[in-house]
A and B are shown apart, each in its own frame.
Chain A
Amino acid sequence: MSDIIEIENLSFSYTSETTILKDMSFSIRPGTFVAIAGPNGAGKSSLLNLMCRALKPKSGRIRVDAVAIESYSTQALAAKVAVVRQELVPVFGFTVIETVLMARTPYYGSMGFESKADREIANEALQATDTARFASRPLTSLSSGERQRVFIARALAQNSPIMLLDEPTNFLDLKHQVGVYDLLKAAQVEKGKTIVAVTHDINLAGQYCDEILLLGADSSYHIGKTKTVLVPERIKEIFDIDVFAGRIGREEFFIPLGKFAKNHKKTDKGLKNI
């Protein structure tokens, strides 16, 4: 199968003096779960916004499903790519079901109402994200974790093969972090979605994602299988921290070590333990 997202010699910057992304090339196969990680300001969110055309590249090409991203109409691109942005609360109190149904806006009939099929799609998304039980509550009355699931439901209701998420576990407690990743994994496995998530949590990424793209602050990048990319030396280099690496079963975990960590001597190589 051909790649669903292809990025070729992509460069991006907000001003002419600074460079965020430089000459980046990679591609994503359909049905993979990819994490984008890296330090603040490395361009993770910018890359995500480039992949949904919210930003324009300085140079280089992005192809979605073998077609140049700029040649899509707004509606056609929405049929390919759904986006879950960082936590945002709308000004007005839409309910959960109203919010999820909005994903169907481009398909509404001439009178501006959804069809029965649209409702079924929305209901399915509510079920899949376990949000159906508060479908009629306003978004603002939900907790952050519940609200994040609603936005994922809305993205699912777009019925697009690709889902992009910007820090989907931001502000969530441990249980809800895992809950969100379970949900995404289910969407990947059961519906064959291609999922790209920006995250700060390399441990969750290591557990759930097939591939990871590590962006460095100096416009360097590493992409590949999570197991091969996430090694202590590289994490140390990219995030500029000392790190403790350990293993539970077949999963490898990384814990950052601060200057004041007890009984910790800064080493050149990350500590490997257990």
Chain B
Amino acid sequence: MKQLLTPKKLAIRVGSALLLLAAVMFVCSMIGTETVSLKAVFTGGGTEASINPDYVIFFRIRLPRIILAGLVGAALACAGVVFQVLLRNPLADPYILGISSGAGLGAIIAVISGFNWTLWGRSPIAVFAFSGALGTIWLVWFIGRLTGKFHVTGLLLAGVVVNAFFSALMMFLTSIAKSDQVYATIFWLMGNMKEGDFLVLWIAAGCVVGGIVALFYIGPQLNALSFGADDARSMGVNVAGTRIIAFGIAAGITAVSVSLSGLIGFVGLVVPHGVRLVLGPDHRQLLPLSGIAGAIFLVIADTLARVIVAPAQLPVGVVTAIVGGPLFLILLVKYSRKVNWLK
């Protein structure tokens, strides 16, 4: 039974993936419009009179942004894994139940109202997007429950309808907004990494990493749930509890990432499938490795977004789709011969 996943094998794989992530983050932190000398960075921040520009660029600008990209990538990839298994639908992604439109609606309301305050260095857009995302997922869950106890089709339809309704509201608000407000909204919708406050970053990191660790612990239950609720239950799995925990965490980390960086598509769909194609569907491995792969993917994508049209910047959501699409197709063709469950 050498093909079975063992704790040792998993630890080695997660460990090497983390090393790779660290290496990618390091390399990406060296890339940018300004050349940073590592030697200069570690001489310290300098005095108030003569600040050390290398230090400031590295620690205040690049590193927070790279960490943010990593967190968002990990959150979206893991949320994608969870929604795919809970809905037993390979097409599911973190936004499938309408989180995107809810967050978008929140964002445009914030832009139009012209609020001018900040919360922990975050604009009202982030706060409204976060509330919009969580509110929407709650609404979809609630409507889904009315159609029966976790009725997958009911839940999906509720998601589709709520999504369409909120998108319509969003378009209505966009059409009556002023052009500079429209621009701000669209830019947000395309997904962007913004250097932010370290406090926010740590809170987000706590939420995302904690969420992923918790998801790892219900990995075996999620495996059983791949066979459907009835089967999982007759194998002795607490289905309702597993679903609530998985759903809550996935929605939570998606809302956090949306509020930090807008809507970044493709990561939550492509990364879980890529990892599953290469390493199989076992959630104990799929969750941590999708998280790390998602982080690597988004860090690289964001670096490209920073430098391709420098000194201007591309929205990272554009890069993820342009890079992720072909990458996924290559994986799909290469591995679907090996595993024929796609049929």
Interface residues of A, Cβ cutoff 8 Å to B: 49, 52, 54, 74-75, 77-79, 81-83, 85, 88, 90-95, 97-99, 101-103, 105-106, 108, 111-113, 119, 123, 135-136, 138-141, 154, 158
Across the interface, B340 reaches (CB within 8 A) one of A74, A92, A138, namely A138
Cβ distance B81 to chain A, nearest Cβ, rounded Å: 10
Chain B 79-101 near chain A by CB (<8 Å), digits 1 or 0: 00000110011100000000000
Across the interface, B280 reaches (CB within 8 A) one of A78, A91, A93, A105, namely A93
Chain B residues with CB below 8 A from A119, complex form? 1, 4
For A102, give the chain B residue with the smallest CB separation. Answer: B224
Q: Does B234 contact A (CB under 8 A)?
A: yes
Nearest 7 Cβ contacts at the A-B interface:
A78-B236, A93-B341, A92-B281, A106-B236, A83-B234, A75-B236, A140-B341
Instruction: Determine whether the beta carbon of B220 is less than 8 Å from that of A54.
Output: no
Chain B residues with CB below 8 A from A83, complex form? 230-231, 234
Across the interface, A91 reaches (CB within 8 A) one of B224, B226, B230, namely B226
Chain B residues with CB below 8 A from A158, complex form? 235-236
Instruction: Determine whether the beta carbon of B236 is less than 8 Å from that of A92.
Output: no
Cβ distance A235 to chain B, nearest Cβ, rounded Å: 31
18 further interface pairs, Cβ-Cβ under 8 Å (given A78-B237, A85-B231, A102-B227): A74-B233, A75-B236, A78-B236, A90-B228, A91-B84, A91-B89, A92-B281, A94-B280, A97-B1, A105-B220, A105-B224, A106-B235, A112-B219, A113-B284, A119-B1, A139-B341, A140-B341, A158-B235
Expressed in whole angstroms, the Cα–Cα distance for A108 and B236 within the complex equals: 12
Instruction: Determine whether the beta carbon of B223 is less than 8 Å from that of A105.
Output: yes
Instruction: Determine whether the beta carbon of A81 is less than 8 Å from that of B281.
Output: no
Instruction: Determine whether the beta carbon of A97 is less than 8 Å from that of B238.
Output: no
Interface residues of B, Cβ cutoff 8 Å to A: 1, 3-7, 84-85, 88-90, 216-217, 219-221, 223-224, 226-228, 230-231, 233-239, 276, 280-282, 284, 339-341, 343
Known: A93-B339, A98-B223, A140-B340. A79 touches B234 (CB 8 A): no
Cβ distance A236 to chain B, nearest Cβ, rounded Å: 35
Across the interface, A113 reaches (CB within 8 A) one of B7, B226, B236, namely B7
Instruction: Determine whether the beta carbon of B88 is less than 8 Å from that of A91.
Output: yes
Across the interface, B223 reaches (CB within 8 A) one of A54, A94, A111, A136, namely A94
Cβ distance A225 to chain B, nearest Cβ, rounded Å: 29
Across the interface, A112 reaches (CB within 8 A) one of B3, B217, B228, namely B217
Q: List 19 A-B contacts (CB under 8 A).
A: A74-B236, A75-B238, A78-B233, A78-B236, A83-B234, A92-B281, A92-B341, A93-B281, A93-B340, A94-B282, A97-B4, A103-B235, A106-B235, A112-B216, A112-B217, A113-B6, A113-B284, A119-B4, A140-B339
For A92, give the chain B residue with the smallest CB separation. Answer: B281
Chain B residues with CB below 8 A from A94, complex form? 223, 226, 280-282
Chain B residues with CB below 8 A from A108, complex form? 220
Across the interface, A78 reaches (CB within 8 A) one of B90, B216, B228, B234, namely B234
Across the interface, B3 reaches (CB within 8 A) one of A74, A81, A82, A95, namely A95
The residue in A93, A123, A136 that gathers the most chain B C-beta atoms within 10 A of its C-beta is A93
Instruction: Determine whether the beta carbon of A141 is less than 8 Å from that of B340.
Output: yes
Chain B residues with CB below 8 A from A49, complex form? 230
Instruction: Determine whether the beta carbon of B235 is less than 8 Å from that of A112.
Output: no
Expressed in whole angstroms, the Cα–Cα distance for A139 and B223 within the complex equals: 14
Cβ distance A33 to chain B, nearest Cβ, rounded Å: 19
Expressed in whole angstroms, the Cα–Cα distance for A101 and B5 within the complex equals: 11
Cβ distance A126 to chain B, nearest Cβ, rounded Å: 10
Expressed in whole angstroms, the Cα–Cα distance for A186 and B300 within the complex equals: 57
Instruction: Determine whether the beta carbon of B276 is less than 8 Å from that of A105.
Output: no
Chain A residues with CB below 8 A from B3, complex form? 95, 97, 136
Expressed in whole angstroms, the Cα–Cα distance for A98 and B90 within the complex equals: 19
Chain B residues with CB below 8 A from A105, complex form? 220-221, 223-224, 235-237
For B228, give the chain A residue with the smallest CB separation. Answer: A88
Chain B residues with CB below 8 A from A78, complex form? 233-237
Expressed in whole angstroms, the Cα–Cα distance for A49 and B339 within the complex equals: 33
Expressed in whole angstroms, the Cα–Cα distance for A99 and B94 within the complex equals: 26
Cβ distance A82 to chain B, nearest Cβ, rounded Å: 7
Chain A residues with CB below 8 A from B234, complex form? 52, 54, 77-78, 81-83
Expressed in whole angstroms, the Cα–Cα distance for A105 and B343 within the complex equals: 28
Instruction: Determine whether the beta carbon of B340 is less than 8 Å from that of A102.
Output: no
Expressed in whole angstroms, the Cα–Cα distance for A112 and B223 within the complex equals: 11
Expressed in whole angstroms, the Cα–Cα distance for A106 and B221 within the complex equals: 8
Chain A residues with CB below 8 A from B280, complex form? 93-95, 98
Expressed in whole angstroms, the Cα–Cα distance for A175 and B233 within the complex equals: 31
For B221, give the chain A residue with the smallest CB separation. Answer: A105
Cβ distance A115 to chain B, nearest Cβ, rounded Å: 11
Instruction: Determine whether the beta carbon of B6 is less than 8 Å from that of A54.
Output: no
Expressed in whole angstroms, the Cα–Cα distance for A91 and B226 within the complex equals: 7
Chain A residues with CB below 8 A from B276, complex form? 92
Across the interface, B231 reaches (CB within 8 A) one of A79, A88, A91, A97, namely A88
Chain A residues with CB below 8 A from B217, complex form? 112
Chain A residues with CB below 8 A from B343, complex form? 140
Expressed in whole angstroms, the Cα–Cα distance for A135 and B223 within the complex equals: 17
Expressed in whole angstroms, the Cα–Cα distance for A82 and B36 within the complex equals: 63
Expressed in whole angstroms, the Cα–Cα distance for A77 and B4 within the complex equals: 28
